[in-house]
């Protein structure tokens, strides 16, 4: 029983912070990727003219005041 408790403490203090840090870094990187790209599929939405839907997946998006896509 004591061995399981030691193993649980070891896992919680080593693997949980590693997984949490990795997840947070991935979320931060994902947020920077989506500027000007479709949020659903990642398609580049620049130079689409008057279209308001992604040609790849059909996800709707808006344009800002300068005419740049905001997905």
Amino acid 23: pLDDT: 84
Q: Which range among 1-5, 7-11, 31-35, 61-65 shows the weakest confidence by mean pLDDT?
A: 31-35
By C-alpha distance, which of 55, 20, 13 is closest to 37? 55
Q: pTM for this structure?
A: 0.48
Amino acid 30: pLDDT: 63
| 3's tokens | 């061995």
Amino acid 57: pLDDT: 92
Average pLDDT over every residue of 6-24: 84
Confidence of residue 32 (pLDDT cuts 50, 70, 90): low
By C-alpha distance, which of 66, 34, 42, 38 is closest to 52? 38
Amino acid 50: pLDDT: 78
């Amino acid at each position: 029983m004591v061995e399981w408790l030691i193993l649980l403490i070891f896992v919680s203090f080593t693997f949980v912070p590693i997984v949490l840090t990795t997840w947070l870094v991935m979320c931060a990187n994902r947020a920077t990727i989506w500027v000007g790209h479709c949020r659903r599929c990642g398609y580049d939405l620049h130079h689409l003219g008057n279209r308001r839907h992604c040609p790849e997946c059909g996800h709707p998006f808006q344009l800002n005041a300068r005419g740049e896509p905001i997905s």
